[in-house]
Amino acid sequence: MTIEIKTNYGNIDVSKEVTAVIAGGAAVDCYGIVGMASQKQLKDGITDLLGRENLARGVVIREDNDDVHIDMYIIVSYGTKISEVAHNVQQKVKYQLEQMLGLKVTSVNIFVSGVRVAND
């Protein structure tokens, strides 16, 4: 499954996995994020903190006609304002995908899976 980007020179197909890694990397770089959580484990009530090699597992990319929607499952640092952290993640992910891929993202949905004390 790929995301197709149409340009004047032709079509570009970008794997959803690549898009998810870019989005996950942008999210982890934001202040107040401890890491990504796997959405598949939420059903069991278990949230594991994913390392840098598993950034794509906390990201779900959906396509609706020409609209691209991104769902992100994050773990927030204790003591930070969750709404502000989520807003920053939304802005940064949208900006990074527009700059790196030229992809117009319709929505970035943030799901806070947990709050943890960050290990600095």
pLDDT for position 44: 45
Take residue 79 and report the two structure tokens written for it. 């003591």
pLDDT for position 26: 93
Bridge partners of 107?
Answer: 69
pLDDT for position 93: 95
Residue 91, C-beta contacts closer than 8 angstroms, at least 6 positions apart: none
Residue 114, C-beta contacts closer than 8 angstroms, at least 6 positions apart: 37, 47, 75, 76
Nearest to 50 by CA among 71, 68, 72: 72
Q: Indicate the pTM of the whole model.
A: 0.81
Q: Write out pLDDT tens, residues 31-51.
A: 999 888 877 654 544 445 545
pLDDT for position 97: 93
pLDDT for position 38: 76
pLDDT tens, position by position, for the chain (120 residues)?
677 878 899 988 888 889 999 999 999 899 999 888 877 654 544 445 545 556 778 899 998 887 889 999 999 999 999 999 999 999 999 999 999 988 889 999 999 988 888 665
- What CATH architecture applies to the domain 2-116? 2-Layer Sandwich (3.30)
Domain ranges of the chain: 2-116
pLDDT for position 31: 92
pLDDT for position 116: 86
